[in-house]
Every structure is written in structure tokens, then in C-alpha cells.
């Protein structure tokens, strides 16, 4: 017992030395009282590293549990993590508070005085200087600073991530390239009774230039890029590339012919996607093809659009198709027009167009949402032949049910390659197919391995974040 | 230059976005966040373009006396009145001359449009527009019951703005959406016919799932109907969804790559 | 206008006028602005019925509602976009003066690239300029300039999509197909009785879960075969692709059936409005 | 009175269907307007004469309910109202039930919206329906409404690393930094559960792709029935539970009312709405049958001629 008491005193003293400014130094505790709750053994082998694969401003701590964590005295209930923070940080905090207060004041003020602006400029400069000074202030360890708690974890846990923000304007800012020092206390039910670990430091956090967690994605990117370039090169060399026919695509030409015979217009709906959506990009290519045919047959084309940018692009596409067909003069600006960027207002307008213009053919290609069925049923009411294509899975069933031909999912993207019959586009379609074959192959291999419980293969496909 | 430079931009920005995904460093993050913000800002300018196009289409329709041209006045009225509401708001409880003001502004715009579309006699319309304009300016200057708000979003709280939203936009919008209840029935009637194997599968699956949503019918079929349809939604559905998702995912990846490399350039106006 | 149209119009006007008056009388007990509220409810009911009239056939009332809807919604989005994005997010970063004028907190900031210190103010002018270039679309000569901002948007999004979908829809989905097929933990065979009594996926084990995994695997496999473009669908390959399209069709049918309920709810919502808020038939 | 109404409307509907069935044997197609009329009747009658019944929770619903039920008190939960009034009949009941559930269990609840139209719905829901039931809760401490920001997925891209960059203040212009609830929340990674309510875009799928996956936060979803099957591939790895359409809402309401006595008498719009569902489903199925009879009759005739 006397031996233990001695040990306790030593440990407590040690803790006191290593934490000169802790708010409730355990050293003040009477050693008689300590005997009631014996301080636990300290955390050992504390190590702190910069957090990997991030933008910096974060560290990761790991340690070995105290001997009294669920074993021995079993009195550790939590670990408290401390970081040594220079007083310069308080200065930063105070400046930050003043700055946001002043900004709020200026924003609320009826008119801003020169005095306010001068104050703001000064304050901003002081704040920047204080931030720049932080690494140097950290270098002064252990002078001009104190230990501050950054977090608590339950007993049994032996790791902690001290993640700060990168914005100096945030209170959680942790500077990069500054010497950080850490310590972990093993805490008992009586928070006063605790044992500090040895101090670990200095350690600096910084941002990485490559996220190794994402390596599987990089491999996939490279493989995909390689396949695409390979097949495009092959296609350019004139290798014959077979692609199976798609009913929906072949129907497009017939439908244009039908419209010409009936002397009724063709309605082309680009959907609700933005110009950057892949479905819309594919749809532009199909629109180009349709517009060219329309120009050749001199049929009318109506393209109501939902998005202003889509309208801009569609105008360009249709215009150059007319140019290609050698009939630039037949192009009318109002072929492509903007309706409104509100889903159902757009639908209401397109419905109206269908029932008034009675198009011979309606083509819906792009992104569609709930309106798909409203459009397709109204089109059926107007007696049109309807061809649809979308990558919105939820809407495919409605198009399948209500339209004459439907391009399912990626068939829409493939359509642009079909229509153009350009070797380059066909080549990339091949690449896509081979990637799919790879998926199947990986699935089969992965399945077998998963069932044999060889997890390493499955782990290859694990992308942490 | 006109076509090559944009393609070059696409390449550069596309490549950057691919690279930044692998670079956690602050600098890359920072540029990334900026680019996303930029896209938002550019999108707002596009909206202005859209409003202009809507205005132009409507006015052209009136001008060329296309079928149903009269309704374009309704569109223009809705457009301008709602914008006006969005930038004004009541100061107290009383509306004062507000509605007269709105009417004079609308008449001003109407007269200007009239002058634009008519081939002869522009003079009278312009004079009237001037008169209404003066009237509305005078009301605006001397009526204190309401005011313009160009720099705080009070217009959005304007009770007329809200009223138009709640009693015009919302009812029409929800009603349009609810048309689907009727159309889903007519589509089911028209298309769910056992013409061939595929159509029969479609029909059968739909029937089973619909039965599952009928608690009154489950006593007849027992629990199995519900469980079968649940299984349909969870298992074959899962498989098909996954096949489509993988396909679409690859398609998007391939198309994105083609766009970055400048292989797919249909969107630039050359199919 | 034909004679019938005039008569119908007159009836519609009278009916809704009566509705307004009746509603105003009812509402005047509870509200100060009963007349206005009654008017608004009546307008909403009129517009609702105008849209439904489209189910019978196209008519002037539908056309009216449609055109009004287009105008009002466009303006609504414009106002929202103006206040939230331009005033809320852009202007406070463009310049301090503008931020103060619009009574928004100024959001300065910048980044030191090492060789170049950039501030927000400069950087946010770039999208403004690009946005203005987009408007060049309106000029017959400068239209080509509008491709620049477009290129930025499309390039950025393409790059984002490229890696994002490769990860989420490809790698993650592939690894999701790695499921136990042979009955290792936690799916243990618990006898034929348990199989029939617990015919669902959440069963704590069971043959069913395994069967489900097999069906999913075969379904995904055949589905992918169906989407394979470079090979003719003949022979074994053709058979797999046929199974693929069956699975797809079953799924589409099921999804369709599943959706009916949501669509009916929407109608319930509208009818509730008509019967409750307008006609007062139910409470 | 109610009973008479029910009898009359049922006779009308089923009598009419029978008549159409008999006609269909003669090979007569049904005009689409007749179908529309039947749908109208089958929905209007139960709406006027109120019919309800019991629901039983399916595993996907139960999974979400249990996940919410078993969170430790003080967990940070985010509810995103990404829907518009058109979708509200389906999604609003779930939004109400889940909001009640989270607030009742003492979680820190953050409300936000990616849809402009969602914000007003959310604010109305909170101030008129939910909060009056919980007078003990304090704004900024137990819950906070940070409102809507334009930018769709862009917003998600930002808040996944920092809330304050996109939402400097809450909906009442109170800076987030000064609120109790946001003391521990920097980014989406600090949330214990995200519940995305919606069905369009941006919506649940975007929450999973842009936030749930990268920040590794569990996401639960409440969606319009049409979107639900599309989300199944993400369950249970990327989504913890799915409420699909009114059926899902009704099941959740049933769970909530049976687990928490406090809610025994709450409004159950989801359960109420199942009445019209039943009739409408029967009518649609009847029409599918009629359609097939017509088809086979006319094919039979066509084959002979």
C-alpha cells in the first residue's frame, strides 16, 4: 500500500509538471483523498500523426490503453485529450470576435462612416498578422501557452481524430505547419483523479497532394481512359466495329418520314436536365440528327425548352444542322424557345402545344421526372408516334407503357454513337462495353472470393471517402 | 478559335475536376469550391436570358397574330405583375393606392407592347404609355402605404407575392401533378394488354404489386400476395435497378470522358 | 366566339361569383379579410377546375390557366434567384460597398497560392463577366462568346461526373454484388419450415435470402448482357439477354404498379382542397 | 348520411364497372373520359365519406423507425425538406411524423431545404403543426431551421465540408456560430443521421451521393412512391431505411402511435389517405381486366376476318 501511494504521488507530480496551467491541477488533491480513488495507470505509447489524405488542419492520435482500463483497477472511465495551445490563439479568438461584431455593425448601419472602415481595415490586418504568427507562437512551447482539452472519448477507445477547420475565421481553426503537442489523460469517475500521459510532440499537420484512399478510383479512371483511347484509335484505323441495332433509334428516321407525309410537325422535348447533364448532352446530338433530317424533308420542328442554357445550346445545334443540310435560310429562330423553369408550367405549355399543333411525332430524350407520363399520355391523345429515352430510372416504366419506342437508360447515350455512325463515337461505345464486361468479370470473381471469405479482393473495391 | 477555344476550356476544366478528386490539398479544394460557386452565379444570368426569351416569344406571338396570340397577354401580365410584387411591399396595414399603381404600371407595359407589335399608329399607344407612366411615377412618389424594395428581400414576403404563390402557382402546379392519377389509369388500360410475353410480364408484375397495396384484398390472398410483391420490389427490382445503374453509370462516365476529350461535341452545334 | 361558348362563359362567371359571395359570407364570421380570402380560394378553385377541364378537351379556360401559370412561375423563379443567389451569395463577396447597400454581411476572404495572393472580390467578378458573356447570345454577332461560360459549366460538370459516377454507380455497385451465395454466415439454412413461414428478405438467415442473392446476381448479369451493344443477341448470349429484358420488364411493371398509389394521393390532395377548403363539404 | 353516401357511390362505381365489363365482352373499347370519371368517383367518394384501416410496417420502414428510435439522446439529426406542394400530400405526412419522432426523443434537429418551395412548407409545418406540440423545446438549442439556399447539389457539395459557408445564419438571421446546437456541428460529418424527404432532384439520391457517401453519415429517406424502387439498390448499405409514398407514411404513423403513447391521438393523414387508395386501385385493376377482355375479343374477331 505504501508502495502504491508513492507511485501515485510520483505520477501526480509528473502530471503537474507536464501540465503547468491545467485548471484543476491534481497536485492540489490531498494524498489521503486520493487513496479513495486510486489514480489509474497512464496511457502509454501515445503517438500523434498528421491525418492522412486530407487538406491538413487535422491530426490523428493513437495510444495504448491504460493498464487500468477494464483490467487491473478497471477504474478508467474516459480519456481526455489535451493539446498545448499558445496564448496567441486567444488573441486570434478575440480579434475574430471583434471582426465579426464590426462586420455585423457595418451591415446593419444606415450609412457606413470612414471611421468604421478604417477600424475594419486595421482589424483585418491585425487578424491576418495574428494568424501568420501562430506557427511561431506554437514554436515557443512550453512558454506562453497552456494545455487545453480538445475532446473526450470513452474508455476502451484508443484513438482520436483532432479535426479542425481550414478557415481562420472559424473557432475550430488548427494551423498547418505549426508544432503541436498532445497529451492524453486517463480519467476516473472522480474527474479530479486522473493520470496524464507523456507529452507527444512536436507534430505538424499539413495537406496531402494525393488521396491514397481513392486509388481504386484512379485505377478505374486510367483503365477506362485507356480503353476509350484504344478503341478510338482502332476505330480510326478502320477496324470494323459491330453494334447491334436499337429499335428506338431506327424508328426515328421513319417517324420523321411519317411527319413529312402527314404534313404535321415534330415535337422534340429535351427534358428537364441542365445543359451539363449527360442525358441532355446525348439528347443534343440526337436533336442535331433529327434537325438535319427535318431540314432535308422540310418538315416543321418544335423544340420547347425548360432551361435557358439548354435553349441556347439547342438553338445552336438546330441552326448548324440546317446549315449542314444546306438550308440555312429555312431555320427560324422561334423553332427553339424557352418556356419556363418550372416543371409543371413547362408541362402545361407542352401539353397545350401537343393538342393544338397535333405533332405527327413526339420525341422525348433527356432527363424526365414526374411529367413523363403526362407528356406521353397527352401525346397519345394527340395521336402522335412517340419515341422516348431517359436515364431517370423511375420514369422508364411510364415511357415503356405509354410510348411506342423507348431507349432504356444507357441506350440513350449509345444513341448518339448510332446516329452519327462516326468511328470515334462507336469506338468509345466499344470501350464502354468492355468496361461492362470487366464489371461482370469482377462481379463473378468477387462473388467467388466473397464466398470463400477472401476479403482482400473485396477490399480492393473499398473507397473510404 | 470560335469552336476550338471552348473545347479547350472544357478539356482544362474537366481535367482539373478529375484531378482535384484525388488531391485533398487545400489549394485544390479551394479552387474546386470556387468553380462550383461560379457555376451558380452563371446560372443566374442564364435565368435573365430565359426571361428575355419568354418575353420575346410572347410578344412575337402577338405581333404575328399566331393562333391563340391573345393568351400571350395573360403570360406577360402574370410575368410582370409577379416581378412587381417581388420588389414591393406594404408598409403598414393599408394598401393605399397600391393596386391602382399596379394597374397603371401594367397599362404602361401593355401600351409599350402594343406600340411594339402594331405596324401603324404607334403614336397613340406611346402617348398613352407615357400618360400611364407619369401616373404610376406620381403614385409611387406620393403614396406612402407601400414602397419599393430593391435591396432587401421584403418583396418575397409581400402578401400579394405570397397570395399569387399560394393561390395561383400552387393550385395549378398541384393540379397538373394530380393529372397523373387519371393518366396512370388510362395508360394502364391502354397498354397493359397481354399481347406477348414481355407485355404479359409487365402486366402481371404491375397487377401483383397493385394488389399488395390493397389491405382489403389481402384476406383473400393471404399474406403471400403482399410478400410476393415485396419480394418483387426487393429482389428482381434490385437486380434490374443495379444493372441499369451500372450501365448508366458507365454511360455517364464514358460520355463525360468523351466530352472532356472533345470527342462528343454535339452540344457545340456540330453533331 | 360561338354562342355556346358565350353561354358557358356566362354560367362559369355566375357560378364563381356566387361561390365568392357565399364563401365571403361564411368566412366573414372568422376573418377580417373574409372577402379577399374568399376571392383567393375561389380563384384557386377556378384554376384547379380549369386544369381538370383539359381532361375533357382543350379549351379556353385551360389555355388561360396555362398561360398565367407560365408567366407567374417564370417571375417567381426570377425573384427567388435574384434574392437568394445574387443578393444573398454573390453581391456580399463582390464588393464591400455593395454588401452594405444590400444590408448583407460582407464576406471577404482570399487565398495565398504562394506566388499569388488572390482575393474573393477579384475572383467573383469572373463569373459575372462569364454570365454577361452568356447574355451575348442575344446579339447576332457575339453569340459565339456565349460558348465560353457554357464550356466552363459543361467541362466542370463532366469532370465531376466522371469520377463521381465511376465511384458511386460503378465501384460501389460492383462491390454490392459481392454477396454470399453459398450460405455462409449470417445466412444459415434453417429448414424448409422456416423458409415458408418467413418468406421475406429481412429473415434472419434463410434460404430465401440466398435465393434472393442468386436472383439478384443472375438478374444483374443478364441485365448487363442485355445492355451489351457490341455482340449480336444470338445463342447463349441471346438467351441471357432475353432473361435480362424479362427481369427489366418485371421491374418496370412492378414500379408502375407501385407508383399508382402516389399518384392517387396527389388527386386526394386536390379533391380535399375542392371539397374542404372551397365547398366546405367535409371538415 | 355517411352510410347512404357510401352505398350510393359504391353502387355507382361497381355497377358502372360491371356494365363496362359486359360491354367489353362485345369488344367495345372504353373512352378515356369514362376512365377519368371512374377515377374521380373512386377517389372523391372516400374523401367525402372517410374510410380508414390498420397498417403493418414493412422491414424497410421498420428499419428507419428503429434507427431513429434507438439513437442516443442528444444525437444530431438533419431533416431536409426537399419537396414542393405538389409532392406534399405524399411526403408531408412522413415529414410530420418523423419531425415529431425526433423532437420527442430529444435529438438536436436541424431543419433545412434544398428546394425554394420546401422552405415555406417547412416553416409552416414547424410553426403551425409541430412546435406547438413541443412547447418545452428551445429554438437554437433543441432544433434549428436553417432554411433554403439556391444551388441544388452545389449546396450539398459545400455543406459536406462546412455548413457555415453556405448557411451563415439560420432562417431568422441568427448566426449559426451563436447557436447552441451548432456548437458541435461543423459539417455534415458531425451529424448522426440525415433524413432526406423528397422525391425530385436534388433529393434523396443526391444526399446519398454527395453527403452520405463522402461524409460517411447514415441517410434515411422519405420519398414519393415513384422514386422508392429506385433507391432500393442503396439499401441497406447507403440508405438505412425507406418510406415510400403514403403507404410508407401510414406504416410509420402506425409504428409511432403504437410505440409512443404521447402520439396515440395525433393526426394520421397517411392512414386516412389509404381509403381512396384502395378504391382507386380496384378501379384501375378492373380497367386492366376490361382492357384485356376487349383485346382478346377484338383479336379473336380480327383473326377470323
* CB A84, CB A203: distance < 8 Å: no
Query: Please, which pLDDT band fits residue B173 given cuts at 50, 70 and 90?
Result: very high
Q: Of residues B249 and A456, which shows the higher confidence score?
A: B249
Number of domains observed in the structure of chain D: 2
D132/D37 same-domain check? no
Query: Please, which pLDDT band fits residue A6 given cuts at 50, 70 and 90?
Result: low
pLDDT score of D88:
84
Of C154, C231, C232, the CB nearest to A276: C154
Using one digit for the tens of pLDDT, what is the confidence trace for D46-103? 888 876 666 777 777 888 999 999 999 889 999 999 988 878 878 889 999 999 999 9
* CB A50, CB A203: distance < 8 Å: yes
Smallest Cα–Cα separation from B198: which of D29, A400, A241? A400
DSSP tag of B151 = S
Average the pLDDT over A134-158 and give the result: 85
* Contact across the interface for D238 and C172, Cβ inside 8 Å: yes
* Contact across the interface for C232 and A244, Cβ inside 8 Å: yes
Dist CA C268 CA D90 (whole Å): 10
Average the pLDDT over D11-33 and give the result: 90
Highest mean pLDDT: which of A436-450, C211-225, D90-104, D240-254?
D90-104
* DSSP run (H or E) holding A48: strand A44-50
The Cα of C215 is separated from the nearest Cα of chain D by a number of Å equal to: 14
Of A104, A344, A394, the CB nearest to D227: A394
Average the pLDDT over D222-235 and give the result: 73
- Give the A window 432-451 contacts with B, CB below 8 Å: 432, 435-436, 439
The Cα of B123 is separated from the nearest Cα of chain C by a number of Å equal to: 28
Nearest residue in B to C158, CA atom: B256
D93/D230 same-domain check? yes
Of A244, A342, A400, the CB nearest to C229: A244
Query: Please, which pLDDT band fits residue A22 given cuts at 50, 70 and 90?
Result: very low
| Interchain CB contact of D175 with A (< 8 Å) | yes
Smallest Cα–Cα separation from B246: which of C218, D235, C169? C169
pLDDT score of A21:
43
Mutation for C interface: B40, B81, B157, B172, most C CBs within 10 A: B172
- Give the C window 198-227 contacts with B, CB below 8 Å: 199-201, 212, 215-220, 222-224, 226-227
DSSP tag of D171 = T
| Interchain CB contact of D5 with C (< 8 Å) | no
Dist CA B129 CA B142 (whole Å): 20
Q: Say what angle helices A114-138 and A88-108 make with each other, to 10 degrees.
A: 160
The ipTM of this complex is 0.83
- In order along its 283 residues, chain C shows pLDDT tens digits of 689 999 999 999 999 999 999 988 888 877 777 788 899 999 999 999 999 999 998 999 999 999 999 999 999 888 888 877 777 777 777 777 777 666 666 666 666 666 666 676 777 888 889 888 888 877 777 778 888 888 998 999 899 888 888 887 777 777 766 665 554 333 333 333 333 333 333 433 345 556 777 788 888 889 988 988 888 888 888 999 999 999 999 999 988 988 887 788 889 889 999 998 899 887 6
Q: How many cross-chain Cβ pairs, A to C, lie less than 8 Å apart?
A: 173
Average the pLDDT over B145-173 and give the result: 80
Q: Of residues D17 and A53, which shows the higher confidence score?
A: D17
Q: From the CB of residue C143, how many other CB atoms can be counted at a distance below 10 Å?
A: 16
D12/D25 same-domain check? yes
Cell triple for A399: 415511357
Nearest residue in A to D86, CA atom: A344
* CB D178, CB D186: distance < 8 Å: no
- pLDDT above 70 as % of chain B: 90
Average the pLDDT over A37-57 and give the result: 86
* Contact across the interface for B24 and A289, Cβ inside 8 Å: no
Contact partners of C by the rule of 3+ C-beta pairs under 8 A? Answer: A, B, D
* CB D189, CB D217: distance < 8 Å: yes
- Give the C window 200-229 contacts with A, CB below 8 Å: 217, 220-221, 224-225, 227-229
Of B22, B26, B268, the CB nearest to A207: B26
Nearest residue in C to B43, CA atom: C131
pLDDT score of C45:
95
What is the β-pairing status of strands D241-244 and D219-223?
A: parallel
Query: Please, which pLDDT band fits residue A31 given cuts at 50, 70 and 90?
Result: very low
Which residues in chain A are closer than 8 Å to D226, comparing Cβ atoms?
Answer: 370, 394
DSSP tag of A384 = -
Nearest residue in A to D213, CA atom: A465
The Cα of A192 is separated from the nearest Cα of chain C by a number of Å equal to: 43
Look up the CATH number of domain A44-203.
Answer: 2.60.40.10
Of A377-386, B60-69, B87-96, which range is least confident? B87-96
Contacts of C161 (CB under 8 A, 6+ apart): A278, B252, B253, B256
Cell triple for B269: 452545334
Bin A45: left if φ > 0, else alpha if -120 < ψ < 50, else beta: left
Domain that holds residue D171: 59-267
D230/D295 same-domain check? no
Query: Please, which pLDDT band fits residue D186 given cuts at 50, 70 and 90?
Result: confident
Dist CA A281 CA B259 (whole Å): 9
* Contact across the interface for D47 and C272, Cβ inside 8 Å: yes
Bin C85: left if φ > 0, else alpha if -120 < ψ < 50, else beta: alpha
pLDDT score of B224:
61
Using one digit for the tens of pLDDT, what is the confidence trace for D113-163? 988 888 888 888 888 878 888 888 888 888 999 888 776 777 787 788 788
The Cα of C25 is separated from the nearest Cα of chain A by a number of Å equal to: 33
Of B186, B207, B237, the CB nearest to D232: B237
The Cα of C202 is separated from the nearest Cα of chain B by a number of Å equal to: 10
pLDDT score of C204:
37
Q: Of residues B44 and D295, which shows the higher confidence score?
A: D295
Which residues in chain D are closer than 8 Å to B35, comparing Cβ atoms?
Answer: none
Q: From the CB of residue C95, how many other CB atoms can be counted at a distance below 10 Å?
A: 16
Residue A159 burial (10 A CB sphere; 0-12, 13-18, 19+): exposed
Q: Of residues A319 and B1, which shows the higher confidence score?
A: A319
Q: Of residues D244 and D225, which shows the higher confidence score?
A: D244
pLDDT score of D272:
78
Show me where the domains of chain C are located: 3-90, 124-176, 182-278
What is chain D's mean pLDDT, rounded? Answer: 85
pLDDT score of C150:
87
Show me where the domains of chain A are located: 44-203, 212-238+427-459, 247-421
- Give the A window 246-305 contacts with B, CB below 8 Å: 275, 278, 281-282, 284-285, 288-289, 292
The Cα of D68 is separated from the nearest Cα of chain B by a number of Å equal to: 22
Of B40, B215, B242, the CB nearest to D278: B215
Look up the CATH number of domain A247-421.
Answer: 3.40.50
Q: Do domains A44-203 and A247-421 have the same CATH topology?
A: no
- Give the B window 241-270 contacts with D, CB below 8 Å: 241-242, 245
pLDDT score of A383:
92
Of A171, A172, A393, the CB nearest to D230: A393
* CB C181, CB C213: distance < 8 Å: yes
pLDDT score of C43:
94
Contact partners of D by the rule of 3+ C-beta pairs under 8 A? Answer: A, B, C
User: Roughly how many angstroms between the first and final C-alpha of chain B, as a whole number?
Assistant: 18
Query: Please, which pLDDT band fits residue B118 given cuts at 50, 70 and 90?
Result: confident
pLDDT score of D39:
95
What is chain B's mean pLDDT, rounded? Answer: 84
D255/D280 same-domain check? no
Average the pLDDT over D259-271 and give the result: 83
Nearest residue in D to C280, CA atom: D48
Which residues in chain B are closer than 8 Å to A324, comparing Cβ atoms?
Answer: 271
Amino acid at each position: 500500500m505504501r508502495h502504491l501511494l508513492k507511485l501515485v504521488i510520483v505520477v501526480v507530480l509528473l502530471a503537474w509538471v507536464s501540465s503547468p496551467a491545467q485548471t484543476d491541477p491534481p497536485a492540489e488533491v490531498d494524498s489521503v483523498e486520493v487513496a479513495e480513488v486510486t489514480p489509474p495507470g497512464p496511457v502509454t505509447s501515445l503517438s500523434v500523426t498528421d491525418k492522412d489524405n486530407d487538406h491538413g488542419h487535422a491530426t490523428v492520435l493513437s495510444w495504448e490503453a491504460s493498464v487500468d482500463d477494464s483490467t487491473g483497477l478497471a477504474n478508467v472511465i474516459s480519456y481526455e485529450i489535451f493539446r498545448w495551445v499558445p496564448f496567441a490563439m486567444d488573441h486570434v479568438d478575440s480579434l475574430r470576435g471583434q471582426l465579426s461584431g464590426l462586420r455585423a455593425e457595418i451591415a446593419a448601419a444606415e450609412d457606413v462612416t470612414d471611421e468604421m472602415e478604417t477600424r475594419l481595415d486595421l482589424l483585418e490586418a491585425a487578424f491576418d498578422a495574428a494568424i501568420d504568427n501562430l506557427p511561431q507562437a506554437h514554436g515557443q512551447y512550453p512558454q506562453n501557452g497552456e494545455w487545453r482539452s480538445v475532446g473526450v472519448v470513452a474508455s476502451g477507445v484508443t484513438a482520436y481524430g483532432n479535426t479542425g477547420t481550414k478557415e481562420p475565421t472559424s473557432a475550430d481553426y488548427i494551423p498547418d505547419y505549426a508544432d503541436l503537442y498532445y497529451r492524453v489523460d486517463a480519467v476516473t469517475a472522480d474527474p479530479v483523479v486522473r493520470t496524464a500521459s507523456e507529452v507527444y510532440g512536436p507534430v505538424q499537420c499539413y495537406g496531402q497532394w494525393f488521396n491514397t484512399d481513392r486509388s481504386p478510383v484512379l485505377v478505374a479512371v486510367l483503365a477506362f481512359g485507356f480503353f476509350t483511347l484504344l478503341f478510338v484509335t482502332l476505330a480510326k484505323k478502320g477496324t470494323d466495329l459491330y453494334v447491334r441495332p436499337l429499335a428506338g433509334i431506327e424508328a426515328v428516321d421513319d417517324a420523321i418520314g411519317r411527319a413529312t407525309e402527314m404534313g404535321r410537325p415534330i415535337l422534340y422535348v429535351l427534358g428537364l436536365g441542365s445543359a451539363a447533364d449527360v442525358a441532355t448532352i446525348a439528347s443534343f446530338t440526337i436533336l442535331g440528327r433529327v434537325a438535319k433530317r427535318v431540314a432535308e424533308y422540310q418538315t416543321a420542328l418544335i423544340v420547347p425548352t425548360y432551361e435557358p442554357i439548354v435553349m441556347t445550346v439547342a438553338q445552336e445545334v438546330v441552326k448548324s444542322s440546317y446549315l449542314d443540310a444546306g438550308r440555312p435560310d429555312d431555320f427560324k429562330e422561334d423553332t427553339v424557345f424557352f418556356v419556363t423553369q418550372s416543371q409543371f408550367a413547362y408541362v402545361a405549355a407542352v401539353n397545350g402545344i401537343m393538342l393544338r399543333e397535333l405533332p405527327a411525332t413526339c420525341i422525348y430524350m433527356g432527363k424526365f421526372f414526374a411529367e413523363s407520363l403526362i407528356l406521353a399520355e397527352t401525346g397519345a391523345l394527340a395521336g402522335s408516334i412517340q419515341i422516348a429515352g431517359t436515364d431517370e430510372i423511375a420514369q422508364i416504366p411510364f415511357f415503356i407503357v405509354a410510348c411506342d419506342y423507348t431507349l432504356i437508360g444507357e441506350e440513350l447515350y449509345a444513341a448518339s454513337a448510332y446516329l452519327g455512325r462516326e468511328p470515334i463515337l462507336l469506338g468509345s461505345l466499344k470501350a464502354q462495353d468492355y468496361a461492362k464486361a470487366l464489371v461482370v468479370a469482377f462481379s463473378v470473381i468477387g462473388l467467388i472470393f466473397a464466398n470463400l471469405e477472401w476479403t482482400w479482393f473485396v477490399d480492393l473495391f473499398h473507397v473510404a471517402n | 478559335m470560335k469552336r476550338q477555344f471552348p473545347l479547350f476550356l472544357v478539356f482544362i476544366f474537366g481535367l482539373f475536376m478529375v484531378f482535384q478528386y484525388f488531391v485533398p490539398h487545400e489549394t485544390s479544394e479551394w479552387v474546386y469550391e470556387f468553380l462550383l460557386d461560379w457555376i451558380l452565379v452563371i446560372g443566374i444570368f442564364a435565368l435573365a436570358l430565359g426571361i428575355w426569351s419568354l418575353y420575346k416569344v410572347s410578344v412575337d406571338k402577338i405581333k404575328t397574330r399566331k393562333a391563340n396570340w391573345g393568351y400571350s397577354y395573360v403570360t406577360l401580365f402574370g410575368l410582370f405583375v409577379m416581378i412587381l410584387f417581388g420588389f414591393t411591399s406594404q408598409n403598414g396595414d393599408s394598401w393605399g393606392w397600391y393596386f391602382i399603381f399596379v394597374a397603371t404600371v401594367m397599362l404602361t407595359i401593355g401600351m409599350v407592347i402594343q406600340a411594339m407589335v402594331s405596324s401603324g399608329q404607334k403614336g397613340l399607344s406611346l402617348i398613352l404609355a407615357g400618360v400611364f407612366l407619369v401616373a404610376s411615377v406620381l403614385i409611387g412618389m406620393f403614396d406612402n402605404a407601400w414602397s419599393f424594395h430593391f435591396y432587401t428581400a421584403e418583396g418575397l414576403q409581400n402578401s400579394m407575392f405570397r397570395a399569387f404563390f399560394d393561390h395561383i402557382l400552387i393550385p395549378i402546379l398541384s393540379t397538373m401533378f394530380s393529372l397523373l392519377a387519371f393518366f396512370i389509369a388510362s395508360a394502364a388500360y391502354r397498354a397493359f394488354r397481354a399481347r406477348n410475353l414481355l407485355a404479359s410480364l409487365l402486366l402481371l408484375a404491375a397487377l401483383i404489386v397493385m394488389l399488395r397495396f390493397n389491405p382489403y384484398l389481402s384476406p383473400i390472398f393471404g399474406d403471400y400476395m403482399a410478400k410476393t410483391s415485396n419480394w418483387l420490389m426487393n429482389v428482381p427490382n434490385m437486380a434490374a435497378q443495379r444493372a441499369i445503374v451500372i450501365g448508366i453509370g458507365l454511360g455517364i462516365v464514358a460520355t463525360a470522358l468523351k466530352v472532356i476529350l472533345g470527342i462528343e461535341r454535339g452540344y457545340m452545334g456540330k453533331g | 366566339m360561338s354562342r355556346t361558348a358565350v353561354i358557358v362563359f356566362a354560367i362559369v362567371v355566375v357560378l364563381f361569383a356566387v361561390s365568392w359571395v357565399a364563401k365571403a359570407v361564411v368566412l366573414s364570421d372568422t376573418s377580417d379579410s373574409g372577402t379577399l380570402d374568399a376571392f383567393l380560394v375561389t380563384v384557386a378553385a377556378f384554376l384547379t377546375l380549369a386544369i381538370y377541364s383539359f381532361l375533357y378537351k382543350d379549351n379556353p379556360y385551360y389555355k388561360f390557366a396555362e398561360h398565367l401559370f407560365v408567366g407567374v412561375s417564370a417571375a417567381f423563379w426570377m425573384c427567388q434567384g435574384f434574392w437568394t443567389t445574387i443578393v444573398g451569395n454573390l453581391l456580399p463577396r463582390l464588393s464591400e460597398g455593395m454588401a452594405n447597400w444590400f444590408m448583407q454581411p460582407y464576406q471577404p476572404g482570399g487565398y495565398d497560392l504562394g506566388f499569388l495572393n488572390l482575393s474573393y472580390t477579384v475572383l467573383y467578378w469572373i463569373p459575372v463577366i462569364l454570365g454577361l458573356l452568356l447574355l451575348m447570345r442575344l446579339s447576332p454577332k457575339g453569340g459565339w462568346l456565349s460558348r465560353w461560360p457554357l464550356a466552363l459549366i459543361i467541362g466542370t460538370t463532366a469532370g465531376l461526373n466522371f469520377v463521381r459516377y465511376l465511384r458511386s454507380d460503378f465501384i460501389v455497385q460492383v462491390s454490392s454484388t459481392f454477396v454470399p451465395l453459398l450460405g455462409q454466415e449470417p445466412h444459415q439454412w434453417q429448414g424448409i419450415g422456416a423458409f415458408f413461414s418467413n418468406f421475406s428478405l429481412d429473415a434472419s438467415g434463410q434460404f430465401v435470402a440466398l435465393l434472393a442473392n442468386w436472383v439478384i446476381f443472375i438478374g444483374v448479369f443478364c441485365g448487363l448482357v442485355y445492355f451489351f451493344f457490341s455482340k449480336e443477341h444470338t445463342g447463349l448470349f441471346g438467351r441471357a439477354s432475353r432473361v435480362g429484358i424479362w427481369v427489366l420488364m418485371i421491374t418496370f411493371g412492378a414500379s408502375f404498379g407501385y407508383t399508382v398509389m402516389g399518384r392517387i394521393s396527389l388527386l386526394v390532395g386536390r379533391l380535399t382542397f375542392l371539397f374542404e377548403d372551397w365547398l366546405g363539404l367535409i371538415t | 348520411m355517411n352510410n347512404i353516401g357510401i352505398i350510393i357511390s359504391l353502387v355507382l362505381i361497381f355497377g358502372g364497372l360491371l356494365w363496362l365489363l359486359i360491354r367489353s365482352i362485345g369488344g367495345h373499347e372504353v373512352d378515356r373520359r369514362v376512365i377519368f370519371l371512374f377515377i374521380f368517383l373512386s377517389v372523391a367518394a372516400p374523401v367525402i365519406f372517410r374510410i380508414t384501416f390498420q397498417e403493418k410496417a414493412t422491414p424497410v420502414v421498420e428499419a428507419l423507425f428503429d434507427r431513429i428510435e434507438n439513437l442516443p439522446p442528444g444525437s444530431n439529426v438533419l431533416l431536409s425538406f426537399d419537396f414542393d406542394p405538389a409532392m406534399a400530400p405524399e411526403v408531408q405526412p412522413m415529414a410530420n411524423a418523423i419531425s415529431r419522432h425526433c423532437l420527442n426523443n430529444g435529438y438536436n434537429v436541424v431543419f433545412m431545404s434544398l428546394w425554394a418551395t420546401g422552405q415555406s412548407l417547412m416553416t409552416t409545418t414547424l410553426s403551425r403543426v409541430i412546435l406547438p406540440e413541443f412547447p418545452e423545446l428551445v429554438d437554437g438549442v433543441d432544433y434549428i431551421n436553417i432554411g433554403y439556399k439556391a444551388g441544388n447539389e452545389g449546396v450539398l457539395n459545400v455543406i459536406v465540408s462546412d455548413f457555415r459557408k453556405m448557411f451563415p445564419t439560420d432562417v431568422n438571421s441568427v448566426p449559426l456560430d451563436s447557436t447552441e446546437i451548432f456548437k458541435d456541428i461543423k459539417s455534415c460529418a458531425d451529424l448522426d443521421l440525415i433524413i432526406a424527404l423528397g422525391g425530385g432532384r436534388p433529393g434523396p439520391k443526391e444526399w446519398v451521393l454527395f453527403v452520405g457517401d463522402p461524409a460517411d453519415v447514415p441517410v434515411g429517406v422519405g420519398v414519393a412512391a415513384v422514386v422508392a424502387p429506385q433507391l432500393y439498390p442503396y439499401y441497406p448499405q447507403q440508405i438505412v431505411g425507406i418510406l415510400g409514398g403514403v403507404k410508407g407514411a401510414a406504416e410509420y404513423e402506425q409504428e409511432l402511435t403504437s410505440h409512443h403513447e404521447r402520439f396515440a391521438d395525433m393526426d394520421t393523414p397517411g392512414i386516412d389517405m389509404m381509403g381512396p387508395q384502395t378504391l382507386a386501385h380496384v378501379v384501375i385493376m378492373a380497367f386492366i381486366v376490361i382492357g384485356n377482355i376487349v383485346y382478346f375479343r377484338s383479336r379473336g374477331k380480327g383473326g377470323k376476318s
